[in-house]
């Protein structure tokens, strides 16, 4: 299973995937490319460290969505990698129909809450402020509606008395780093 990772930030979830691959825990999956919409994103530094090509793709003209020329550049770059799965690992852009149609059924996202609760930005903060007893993370297929695609798997994280936003964030990130590579491995083993 050929994997392309898209990310906008430091790349901690991408690093978890690459570490799992390095340790032989990614099933039949292999990361073939990393792309970012930010030229200085930390995720791009993972490429040389793990021997995976990593490159910036200009997302212009929009700041928060992938549409128009930027969308066309991303589609062309990803298609050239012939991916079986496109993994959004902190990719902070809303995807539009052109992109979703180009990779229909092949795009997964990791979200830091137990969807359908707390979709959108700041899932951990939303859960913390709501005072829930359990939150977590979700891997789901990407659809037009943000964080509303079919859920593949979730990992619960208990919120304990005296929890701070910082400690909860660390716990959810740890759960994400375990869940995402495990889901990718399972999907790869199920692939014909």
Domain ranges of the chain: 2-190
CA distance 74 to 141: 19
Q: So which residues are the catalytic ones?
A: 111
Question: What tens digit of pLDDT does each residue of 99-110 get?
Answer: 999 999 999 999
CA distance 116 to 71: 27
Task: Please list the alpha-helical segments (H only) found in the chain.
Answer: 12-22, 43-50, 68-79, 97-102, 123-130, 165-190
CATH of domain 2-190: 3.40.50.170
CB 27 within 8 A of CB 180: no
Question: What tens digit of pLDDT does each residue of 93-139 get?
Answer: 989 999 999 999 999 999 999 999 999 999 999 999 999 999 999 99
């Amino acid at each position: 299973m050929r994997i392309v990772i898209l990310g906008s930030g430091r790349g901690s979830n991408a690093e978890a995937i690459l570490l799992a691959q390095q340790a032989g825990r990614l099933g039949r999956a292999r990361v073939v490319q990393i792309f970012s919409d930010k030229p200085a994103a930390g995720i791009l530094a993972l490429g040389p460290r793990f021997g995976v090509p990593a490159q910036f793709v200009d997302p212009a003209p929009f700041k928060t969505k992938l549409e128009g020329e930027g969308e066309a550049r991303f589609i062309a770059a990803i298609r050239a990698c012939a991916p079986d799965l496109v993994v959004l690992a902190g990719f902070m852009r809303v995807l539009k129909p052109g992109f979703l149609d180009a990779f229909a059924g092949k795009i997964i996202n990791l979200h830091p809450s137990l969807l359908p609760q707390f979709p959108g930005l700041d899932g951990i903060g939303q859960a913390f402020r709501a005072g829930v007893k359990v939150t977590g993370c979700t891997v789901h297929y990407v659809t037009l509606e943000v964080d509303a695609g079919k859920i593949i798997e979730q990992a619960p994280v208990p919120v304990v008395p005296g929890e701070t936003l910082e400690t909860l964030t660390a716990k959810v990130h740890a759960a994400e780093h375990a869940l995402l590579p495990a889901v990718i491995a399972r999907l790869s083993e199920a692939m014909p």
